[in-house]
Amino acid sequence: MKKSLGIYIHIPFCVQKCRYCDFCSFAGEGDGVKSAYADEIIGRIGAWRGETAGYEADTVYFGGGTPSLMSARDINRILDSINSVFSVSGSAEITLECNPATADGEYFRALRSMGVNRLSMGLQSASDRELALLGRIHTAKDFENTFAQARAAGFDNISADLMYGIPDQDMDSFRATMRYLTALSPEHISAYGLMIEQGTYFEKHAEELRLADDDMQYEMYLACTEYLASCGYGKYEISNFARDGRRSRHNMRYWLGEEYLGFGVAAHSYFGGVRFGNSRDMGAFLRGEDITEERVCLDADDVREEYIMLRLRLSEGIDTRDYACRFGRDFFSDFQVVRDWAKQGFMRILGDRIGFTDKGSFVSNTLLSEMLSLG
Ligand code: SF4
């Protein structure tokens, strides 16, 4: 039986930089650079020929940036190289991230014909005022049009992102965004609280922004979880909600600690017990240089820490029998504090299953770092 593998391709191009974004993306690059970037990705995929015998790729994910700014021809060339180098499952989930107003029906039909079967689209807000404040390039109507074109081209598996905690956003406005999005009926929704990241426009202008405080963000997170559940979207990860059978298979791979190879600037990989990641140095990448900047062989303690950090992001949480089986240790002896947190409403203990409640999910970073300092 072959081992499963995920392939991630980072496409770091955007029309303009959103004001909150610290992802690795570059605005305003021309078609020549994009094609040269695709050539370089293809070359680096080719270097893995023969290295992954015994594996079958069952997820492929084009993330960004805005992958839909890359021509269908270049996406096709990259997919051809993936298919020629790796054994790709006939039922692989192949996702491409797409921003409204950067793709049309013809583009979507081309993607379908080359095997892309899932899209992830950024809405963020249904308020054009909030979209402009975020520095997004599109209106809500653009999203609706792009979504309709994707549906018409045959995409029956679409995810959409929304954001809460946007400056000046109140609960009514956030609820209006959720109603707007669920009326379109995507199969999957990701909801993220705005974070002020270093080096962004928002960080430089933080004093001018009327930001939601923690209490408001928490109320929005709870409202989101409740409302989406009432519309048939079950929360399966801290920020991710899906209709039955529509979880992101690729992202599940990250949370389950499964293997994947990432290509492109800022892409990360986990393969053969080693985590390695690329720098953001686009010039060096295009010159064909090795841009690997970190390479970590995980020891037994690292594997256990990652297991805790990643599994607890999932609503299923940790199965204490699985923990004992993998690591030869008793979960409650390692983390006695979990029983106190359960009494305080941060964690849920159901038989052998341990997980965060909604209240705990909201402060999960703090709780996880406390756990890791103990265990
Ligand atoms: S479109 Fe996405 S990746 Fe590009 S700048 Fe905006 S948030 Fe960042």
Question: What spacing in Å lies between the alpha carbon of 309 and ligand 1's midpoint?
Answer: 26
Averaged pLDDT, 36-62: 96
- Pocket of ligand 1, candidates 10, 26, 62, 66: which has the most ligand atoms within 8 Å of its Cβ, to mutate? 66
Question: Residue 66 C-alpha to ligand 1 middle, in angstroms?
Answer: 7
184 in Cβ contact with 144 (< 8 Å): yes
H helices then E strands: how many in the chain? Answer: 16, 17
The partner residues of 292 in beta bridges, in order of sequence, read 278
Cα(221)–Cα(99) distance, integer angstroms: 24
Supply the pLDDT for residue 116. Answer: 98
pTM of the model: 0.96
10, 21, 190: residue to mutate for ligand 1 pocket, most atoms within 8 A of CB: 21
pLDDT digits (tens, 9 = 90+) for 130-165: 999 999 999 999 999 999 999 999 999 999 999 999
φ, ψ of residue 345 in degrees (nearest 5): 90, 10
DSSP 268-322: EEEETTEEEEE-S-HHHHHTT---EEEEEE--HHHHHHHHHHHHTTBTT-EEHHH
Contacts of 2 (CB under 8 A, 6+ apart): 54, 55, 56, 87
Question: CB within 6 Å of ligand 1 — which residues?
Answer: 14, 17-18, 21, 23, 25, 64-66, 99, 122
Q: Which of 10, 11, 14 to mutate to test the pocket of ligand 1 (most atoms within 8 A of CB)?
A: 14
Residue 375 has pLDDT above 70, yes or no: no
Residue nearest to atom 8 of ligand 1 (CA): 21
Helix (H/G/I), strand (E/B), else coil: 124: strand
What is the average per-residue pLDDT within 182-205?
Answer: 97
Supply the residue whose CA is at minimum distance from atom 6 of ligand 1.
Answer: 18
Residue nearest to atom 7 of ligand 1 (CA): 21
Residue located nearest, by CA, to atom 3 of ligand 1: 65
Q: How confident is the model at residue 374 (pLDDT cuts 50, 70, 90)?
A: confident
- pLDDT tens for 118-127 read 999 999 999 9
Q: How far is the CA of 89 from the centre of ligand 1 (A)?
A: 30
| 136 CA → ligand 1 middle, Å | 8
Domains and CATH numbers, the chain: 3-254 (3.20.20.70), 315-375 (1.10.10)
Q: What is the pLDDT of residue 275?
A: 96
Q: Is the pLDDT of residue 282 over 70?
A: yes
pLDDT of residue 236 exceeding 90, the answer is yes
Strands 347-350, 268-271: parallel, antiparallel or unpaired by DSSP?
unpaired
Instruction: Report CA(16)–ligand 1 centroid distance (Å).
Output: 8
Place 293 in a pLDDT band, splitting at 50, 70 and 90.
very high
Q: What is the mean pLDDT of the chain?
A: 96
- Segment 247-275 mean pLDDT: 97
Counting atoms of ligand 1 from 1, which one is nearest the CA of 20?
7
Give residue 327's pLDDT: 96
**Measured distance CA(192)–CA(21) in Å, rounded:** 13
Q: How far is the CA of 14 from the centre of ligand 1 (A)?
A: 6
